[in-house]
Chains A and B, each alone.
Chain A
Amino acid sequence: MAGESKRWERYLDDRMSYFTVRDFAHKQLYKRLPPHTGWMHIFGSIALLMFVSQFVTGILLLLYYRPTLDEAHESIKYITGDVAFGWLFRQIHAWGATLMVIALIFHMMRTFFMGSFKKPREFTWVTGVILFLLTLGFGFTGYLLPWNQLSYWATTVGTEVVGAVPFVGEDLKQMLLGGSAVGQETLSRFFVVHVAVLPWLLVIILVFHLVLMRMHNLATLEDVGAEKGFAHRRGVPFWPVHMAKEACVVVVIFAILVSLSVFMPWEIGEPADPLSTPEGIKPEWYFLPSYQLLKYFTGPLGKVIGILVSGVPFILLFLWPFIERNPHRQPRKRKWAVGVGVFGLFAALALGILGHFSETTMHVGGRVIEIDMYGIPHVVDENAQPQTGEEAKPDAAVDENTGAGSADEEGTDADAGGQPASSQAEPGDGQ
């Protein structure tokens, strides 16, 4: 490969060890991945690509965005309305966040179910979880920046959760907000965290994550300690073969991203108004499961329990490589671990769906169904008589079971108390 060195190569080599650098890069580029490396292994790259896309579009948005109460919303309008392709970069940035979270979730699922996090890759997993949390942090801080009604109130509600932490909650919340309510200080610090703190943290940890990944190469499905390795020729070269595979998918994902931007654009909304809360405030979809879970815990003590309970999945995620210590990687051989994973996914999905439909009104077969904050549907009588619990029950049976089921899964007494209370409270609230 090296062949005869050219003159410019020798010139560079004298000055910056060109050949050493080239050989290292070459080795990394043509590194052989295990033969079974398949389509499931591209989610990490897609997440990386989404991150790069977010990075570039984020920098472009920074050119025109102004993080002040008076100007934030106006500047977003300006970007969308007046700057050439401003709408496109804003939409790609907004939708990119969603796609990035999706890519990360698939990436983590693949890693989890294939047991790739096991020795020696525990730290790769832990850094990955940190990267996931950082991404959620990006989502949370970035959501406030347009300074519209939804973002303002979602942030207000979201930071209230922090206030329920025992002893230090209020201080913690004030530190987060920079005051007692969401205001200029909040905007400033969310902005700084979003564009300066998180990117640096993410890049540093991402480098660590990637170095570890290259160091250990991709995991096979063989048991820990029983890896047989593979012949060099059977391995798949990262470049150009694996990259070609990724390119097939990446271009389609970009087309999807742009299509979403064009056909389902994020609205700019009304400017934030601290004096009136709009209807149906909800956080971004990736926060919905936690948000919905927290609703089932009421009262000062309940809130604390709620925060602890909703923290459990994340602690489990962090510590999983150290909890599941059997040497198997094949999902068939680790039934309980897969069970926990599948259960966690379905619980999150169920809570997310409940959260999505809670506090909405639906029209099904000519009947109006109101879904309360716990996700329990109530049929609204057309004649507007005060409704009773008996009326609602037959129609609500199926969903109520789901609601009860998902709440029971978390296994606390608080939900048991919370649900009857809700069905009693509802008539008063509704009328």
Chain B
Amino acid sequence: MCPSWWRSVTFVIPAWLQHIFDSGAAPIQNIADAVIATHIQHSVSRSEKVIRFMIQRTVRACRSVLVSAVSAPRSRQCSIMALIAALTSGEPAAGQRRTVDCAACHAQQAEEFRQSVHAEAVFCQDCHGGPNSYRLTPEEMRLFGFDVAATRSAAEAPAAFDHGEEFTGKASREEIPDKCGTCHANVEQMNPFGLRTDPLAAYWVSGHGKALKNQGDTNVAVCIDCHGTHDVLPEENPNSRVYFQNIPNTCGTCHADRALMKPYHLSADIVDQYGRSIHGRNVLENGDAGSPHCATCHGSHAAAPPGFADVGHVCGQCHQQVESYVLESVHGRIAAIARCTGCHNERAEPTNHEIRKASVPLDELTRIHESLGSGGAVDPVEFKAAVDQASGSMRLDHVCNYCHAQNRAGPHSEFFAASDKTARARGEELAASLRAAQLDYIQTKLRVDDMARGVLLVGDEALRLGDARTELMALQTFVHTLKRDEVAERASKIAEITEEVNTSLDDKQGGLQKRRVTMAPVWIFALVFSVLMFRWYLQLKHVYVGPEAEVQPADVEPRRRWLQFVLGALGLAGIAGLVWPAVAYVLPARKRGGGLERSVAGSDSDWKVWEARKVAVAGKPVIVLRAGDGFRAFSAICTHLGCIVHWTDAKRVFECPCHAASFAPDGKVISGPPPRPLPEYKVAVVQGDVIVTASES
């Protein structure tokens, strides 16, 4: 600890020593104040705030050293400070009075305080009043039982110690908020630390604060119940009571106490419920600081339960997209229903705190599918059952039944009964659409993964399937609108993409199968050729080798001519079989797999109507036009002689610079020599990106 305070000491020593010599004897506190004053006086050119802060820190550092030096002389590490302490006590070391600090009696509190965030800037008397240290004669020391070195237990200290007139002692619970507020609601004091000054005001409007103020109920939480007394730690310290992972327990000290909650008619189970919820498990088990804890929904200083109709808004703080969809839905127009908690619960009785995961994430769905049967077709019914089992919340198609089941007895049953049938049918439809899209995506995904492990290259397909995934994620959110037609439309978009990918995969797999099948004729050819050639070899040997061999090659027996002929034909076929792939290889390569190459033409948000942009798709120029009714893409190659057409906004036509041809916005020829309309490409808007695929539609 020496180096840091030593720097501080060197900073103040000149002014300090000067002051000591000027005033002769002065208590530490006075010296510190004088030093502050001196510095402010001599540093007028600098920002006062900075100076004050620096000096506060400096003085605090010096003082803490002095305190430790005085209170524990035997353990002192820096004897020079003891010397300075002796000097500043105004009397020689062998004098008649000794300085006693709060820590001399209140050792435990002092130790807690020393580790707290307040050790930086607050002193005992700031909260408790009175001086921070007392100068006592040896007689007083003896009288009050002070043995600086030995006595640490407060019990041994006589109660009769007079703390002085200014000493206010321990604040009552009613006083505490204002006590903390003296600093924490003071802008000047909080600004150097970058702390907010509204906690006090917020507290007074909270459920706790109102009860304290209006009913004088001292059972409610005050500052110290959440933040601690002497041991206040910063929020980001994992030991702090208000560290995000500790908050449920901190609130639980009261809210899980059945006896304490009873008079307020509050459930004491909520902390347990929270612990089981998706949010609680994220916070407590996974350490996810982004997941909500008590204060995220209820507020911290202004803690208050959100009203029944406001629960949706609370959830919407994080789940913004979902909230806006829910408000679009038929439920959005009815204020008095439990929008989020009504469905996202495991049990039939909604609890606000035990929020279960909404649906099974795609990756987990994929795992379930794999576990049911790898590669082969999975029975949709079996899949649905497995998914329902894995899902933490109510089953997708049963969610609606919670309110809309006819047999439900309850205060609102008549209201619900009016639209029961429609609602249930709608719910089942939506669930079916969503589940079909999920199954579709998963099966295609598994197929792509499976093929990626083989020799075929399916990078394009995987990329395209990524679009389907994006769409599906969006759809899982979009179902909150409960809009049947739009959901069906989005689901069909996913089906379209998976269909496209599957076709492409079929194509590639077919090619692979063809290769394998081709091996049969190759082997038949090789074996036939080999066997015939062997016979031919025997015959040649007979003809050429041996003493009796007189004939010349031309004189091979005529009846063996057919062998020569067949071998010649097979040989030619074989050579052709070798040359043909080589020729095909040299020819320009074409992209296989149904044109899955895709290009992003831009974002639809900054794309004006009747604006056209050019983009290269699979190396070819394509013009993407935002027509009145949506995006359309055409090949930019004029069908006449291959010049590149451009869009003329003024006339709203595509014009070709060669031969003055023009095409309508739908690609049809208006004038000029082109024989055919411009070929059209597929365009899709995926999550705001305008994507052109290479397949000409």
On A, residues with C-beta under 8 Å from B are 35, 56, 60, 63-64, 77-78, 80-89, 231, 233-237, 240-241, 244-245, 247-249, 251-252, 254-255, 258-259, 262-263, 265, 267-268
Contact = CB atoms under 8 A, between A and B. Distances in A.
Contact of B526 (A60, A83, A252): A252
A234 B544 contact: no
Contacts of A80: 455, 457
A234 B547 contact: yes
Given A248-B530, A265-B455, 17 more contacts: A80-B455, A81-B592, A85-B584, A85-B585, A86-B589, A89-B582, A234-B546, A240-B544, A241-B540, A244-B536, A244-B537, A247-B529, A251-B574, A254-B526, A255-B527, A259-B523, A262-B519
A385 B522 CA distance: 54
Nearest to B587: A84
A329 B373 CA distance: 64
24 contacts: A60-B582, A63-B585, A77-B457, A84-B584, A85-B581, A87-B455, A88-B581, A89-B582, A233-B547, A234-B545, A234-B547, A236-B541, A240-B553, A241-B540, A249-B530, A251-B526, A251-B529, A251-B530, A251-B533, A255-B525, A258-B522, A259-B522, A265-B455, A268-B457
Contacts of A255: 522-523, 525-527
B574 A262 contact: no
Contacts of B561: none
A88 B577 CA distance: 13
Interface string B509-544: 000000110110011011101100110110011001
Interface of B: 455-457, 459, 515-516, 518-519, 522-523, 525-527, 529-530, 533-534, 536-537, 540-541, 544-547, 549, 553, 574, 581-582, 584-587, 589-592
A247 B568 CA distance: 12
A231 B547 CA distance: 9
Contacts of B456: 81
Contacts of B584: 84-85
Contacts of B536: 244
Nearest to A231: B547
A84 B589 contact: yes
Nearest to A241: B540
Contacts, number: 106
A87 B518 CA distance: 15
Nearest to A1: B552
A259 B519 contact: yes
Contacts of B457: 77, 80-81, 268
A83 B585 contact: yes
A189 to B, nearest CB: 27
Contacts of B545: 35, 233-237, 241
Nearest to B536: A244
A355 to B, nearest CB: 26
B589 A244 contact: no
B585 A84 contact: yes
A262 B533 contact: no
A78 B460 CA distance: 12
Nearest to A266: B455
Contact of B516 (A81, A249, A262): A262
A83 B536 CA distance: 39
B546 A241 contact: no
A41 to B, nearest CB: 14
A249 B527 CA distance: 10
A56 B590 CA distance: 22
Contacts of B581: 84-85, 88-89
Contact of B537 (A63, A87, A241, A251): A241
A350 B586 CA distance: 44
A86 B455 contact: no
Contacts of B534: 245, 248
A255 B518 CA distance: 11
Nearest to A255: B526
A60 B525 CA distance: 25
A258 B544 CA distance: 34
B590 to A, nearest CB: 7
Contacts of A236: 541, 544-545
A78 B525 CA distance: 31
A325 B525 CA distance: 47
B530 A252 contact: yes
With most chain A CB atoms within 10 A of its CB, the pick from B544, B574, B587, B591 is: B544
A86 B585 contact: yes
Given A89-B585, A262-B516, A82 B590 contact: yes
Contacts of A35: 545
A64 B589 CA distance: 10
Contacts of B589: 64, 78, 82-84, 86
Contacts of A235: 545
Complex A-B, nearest 9 residue pairs according to Cβ-Cβ distance, in ascending order: A255-B526, A85-B581, A244-B537, A81-B457, A84-B584, A83-B589, A265-B455, A82-B589, A248-B533
Contacts of A85: 581-582, 584-585
Nearest to B456: A81
A236 to B, nearest CB: 6
Contacts of A240: 540, 544, 553
Nearest to B574: A251
B574 A82 contact: no
A251 B523 CA distance: 9
B588 to A, nearest CB: 9
Contacts of A259: 519, 522-523
B455 A267 contact: yes
Contacts of A231: 547
Contacts of B553: 240
A212 B589 CA distance: 44
Contacts of B519: 258-259, 262-263
B220 to A, nearest CB: 54
A64 B587 CA distance: 11
Nearest to A83: B589
A241 B582 CA distance: 30
Nearest to A265: B455
Contacts of B537: 241, 244-245, 247-248
Contacts of A258: 519, 522
A78 B518 CA distance: 23
Nearest to A249: B530
Contacts of A64: 589
Contacts of A84: 581, 584-585, 587, 589-590
Contact of B586 (A63, A252, A254): A63
Contact of B515 (A245, A254, A262): A262
Nearest to B534: A248
Contacts of B586: 60, 63
Contacts of B546: 233-234
A259 B523 CA distance: 9
Contact of B527 (A86, A241, A252, A265): A252
B592 A244 contact: no
| Highest count of chain B CB atoms <10 Å: which of A78, A81, A87, A263 | A81
Nearest to A245: B537
Contacts of A81: 456-457, 592
Given A63-B586, A81-B592, A87-B455, A244 B516 contact: no
Contacts of A77: 457, 459
Nearest to A82: B589
A96 B409 CA distance: 79
Contacts of B529: 247, 251
A53 to B, nearest CB: 10
A262 B529 CA distance: 21
Nearest to A77: B457
A379 to B, nearest CB: 30
A262 B517 CA distance: 10
A408 B590 CA distance: 58
A84, A235, A237, A249 pick with most chain B CB within 10 angstroms: A84
Given A234-B546, A262-B516, A82 B585 contact: no
A241 B544 contact: yes
Nearest to B545: A236
A263 B585 contact: no
